[in-house]
Amino acid sequence: MQRARGSSRRRLRSRARCRAAAPLTAATAVTGVTAATAATAATAVAAAAVASADNPGGGGAVEGAAGGGTAGGLAEDAAAGNFMRHSNIMVDVGKWPIFTLLSPQEIASIRKACVFGTSANEAIYITHNDEVFAFGLNCSNCLGTGDNQSTIVPKKLEALCGKKISSLSYGSGPHVVLCTEDGEVYAWGHNGYSQLGNGATNQGITPVQVCTNLLIKRVVEVACGSHHSMALSADGDLYAWGYNNCGQVGSGSTANQPTPRRVSNCLQGKMVVAIACGQTSSMAVVNNGEVYGWGYNGNGQLGLGNNGNQLTPCRVAALHGVCILQIVCGYAHTLALSDEGVLYAWGANTYGQLGTGNKSNQLSPVQIMMEKEREENSEKNAFVLLDSYNEMVVEIAACHSAHISAARTQSGQVYMWGQCRGQSVVLPHLTHFSCTDDVFACFATPAVMWRLLSVEHEEFLTVAESLRREFDSPETSDLKFRVEGKYIHVHKAVLKIRCEHFRTMFQSYWNEDMKEVLEIDQFSYPVYRAFLEYLYTDCVDLPPEDAIGLLDLATSYCENRLKKLCQHIIKRGITVENAFSLLSAAVRYDAEDLEEFCFKFCVNHLTDVTQTTAFWQMDGPLLKEFIAKASKCGAFRN
């Protein structure tokens, strides 16, 4: 992370870059609420209690402990040669437990996704064909399926299919708000405070377009607080509606706002480029890098130097001279990122979510430094910047349903701090993750998606994936096996690396090392192909009957792990019809564990298995041994 220089020249240059840059558009924003995999009911209750203490802003704060929304804006600073952008690293949606309900084919179809709900109980995803599906608990009709029924089978949201969703956020009810690439806004779910913007307070059971004051606007970003919503248009106008007990709608009063209303006052004539919502607070960044906040401020989350609520937007004066590009809100804290890659934080700090090294709230922005940038000064008990580690931060992350923060640096390092799986981490901690999304999936309480998760990425294969793809590839192979008249294309180097049998075979003094085609007659084609594929993939996909032959091969080649895999396949596929055949194979290949398993199966199903052909085809010595062993177990007692 890079510290902002103190000279007025650099600050003036920074401001000049912001003003000279082309008009900025708000980047995609989203929020996510999920439950930590290991979270217990007691943990959830405790989190709600602390959350309520962090934000005594009214009715929204109580429910907000279980949900909410966040928004983030990113912009390019072309003149300076620096740019902030969302990571295009592939993220595994399987890290969120709810997605284990989907088949591999369904997972592979996902292009974008959002997990939300009080305990990771709801999810929406968009496929590569731009179809939209939802599944989960359906609290407050937040799935938009047209009914109040929960479902573990994804249901298609016909009203949104083909709409090209670009930004999505949600609140605590929960309610869901999204916008499309065409600028249309849709909302559904909880509506007790008119947070759907339709002028009513009844729940929305299906996605309905938000029309008032927005039909003539192309909305590019949405954000939700606990029970209020905001929408940012392409021309920089900001609209807000819903719950307004603390002034979070910015209308100048505390009356709820039933339909979208333009936020003006100090924002009049300014172009907003990024927005974010805390539980009952709102933040905005304008195109010259200035930051404005309004709503609840009991923990200093507006950064104004006091803890008084604001009914209209108020400029964060402490950031004068700093050009902010991205802003995100936690439950009751705020993070902001400057064009120079400097991170600022303010607001609630109960769990260390500000990263200051303590748990004291901050009423004004303070600069936060990453782990490699800190050096403890024991005499002054302060932290000073190490000049050798002035790396820029390029992305920050927070979600108003949680008390955790994350940041990614220019080199791709990801840091986290705050409430990390129940622990309070008061300083940015370097993780092994490659994207900030993983921090929320693995350490947030509840585990959250802080934005609409995109799985679009550049074509990239890991070493394992590359090996898998090249198995039996004539284009790259340098060796062929011929089994039962069929060829299997392989790579000699891979075989030598993966298997001691081949490492020995392909020595310069062995004839096999000079051949381009090797004949195999000891094993069947399916068995030998499965063995070679295993060397490339570590996986075996064979029926139990063929797994017997592979078990024979594994025994011959001294592949102990493969033997265990074969035994597992056989155990999983044992039936009355093949039990004695599998028992015979286990004895023949000296697989003691499998032999015992098959023997017990045969004894437990003795009447049925003795009627099979395999039983009567068993050789005499083995049959006598089975009968003797079964009698000792009492299998023939009346």
> Can you tell me the mean pLDDT for 441-468?
82
pLDDT of residue 507: 80
pLDDT of residue 578: 87
- 3-class state of residue 79 by DSSP: helix
pLDDT at 40 over 70: no
Percent of the chain with pLDDT over 90: 59
Percent of the chain with pLDDT over 70: 81
Residues in the chain: 638
pLDDT at 45 over 70: no
Give the residue, 311 or 567, on which the prediction is more confident: 311
Query: Could you tell me if residue 387 is left (phi over 0), alpha (psi between -120 and 50 degrees) or otherwise beta?
Result: alpha
Entry pTM: 0.66
pLDDT at 553 over 80: yes
> Can you tell me the mean pLDDT for 35-60?
35
pLDDT of residue 515: 86
Using CA atoms, how far residue 33 sits from 64, 121, 226, 361, 403, in Å, is 11, 9, 12, 24, 12
pLDDT of residue 459: 61
pLDDT of residue 453: 93
Tell me whether the omega of the peptide bond preceding residue 154 falls within 30 degrees of 0, making it cis: no
> In whole angstroms, what is the distance from residue 102 CA to residue 120 CA?
15
Least confident among 54-58, 291-295, 338-342, 471-475: 54-58
Average pLDDT, the chain: 83
pLDDT at 203 over 90: yes
> In whole angstroms, what is the distance from residue 386 CA to residue 591 CA?
61
Contact 301, 334 (CB under 8 A): yes
Least confident among 113-122, 209-218, 329-338, 360-369: 113-122
SS (H, E, C) 438-452: HHHHHHCCCCCCCCC
pLDDT of residue 61: 30
pLDDT at 251 over 80: yes
> In whole angstroms, what is the distance from residue 468 CA to residue 471 CA?
6
pLDDT at 81 over 50: no
What tokens does 5 get?
């220089």
pLDDT of residue 238: 98
Beta bridge partners of 482: 487, 519
Split at pLDDT 50, 70, 90, the class of 75 is: very low
> Can you tell me the mean pLDDT for 163-185?
95
pLDDT of residue 383: 41
Contact 614, 577 (CB under 8 A): yes
What tokens does 141 get?
């009709």
pLDDT of residue 317: 97
pLDDT of residue 625: 85
Cβ atoms within 10 Å of 602's Cβ, excluding its own: 24
Nearest residue to 238 via CA among 254, 219, 256 = 219
pLDDT at 84 over 50: no
Give the residue, 37 or 456, on which the prediction is more confident: 456
pLDDT of residue 344: 98
Contact 335, 405 (CB under 8 A): yes
What tokens does 227 get?
């029970």
Split at pLDDT 50, 70, 90, the class of 90 is: low
pLDDT of residue 120: 78
pLDDT at 167 over 90: yes
Nearest residue to 202 via CA among 140, 118, 135 = 140
> Can you tell me the mean pLDDT for 50-78?
35
- DSSP label of 351: T
pLDDT of residue 372: 54
Contact 214, 227 (CB under 8 A): no
pLDDT of residue 381: 43
> In whole angstroms, what is the distance from residue 220 CA to residue 30 CA?
12
Split at pLDDT 50, 70, 90, the class of 445 is: confident
Give the residue, 571 or 138, on which the prediction is more confident: 138
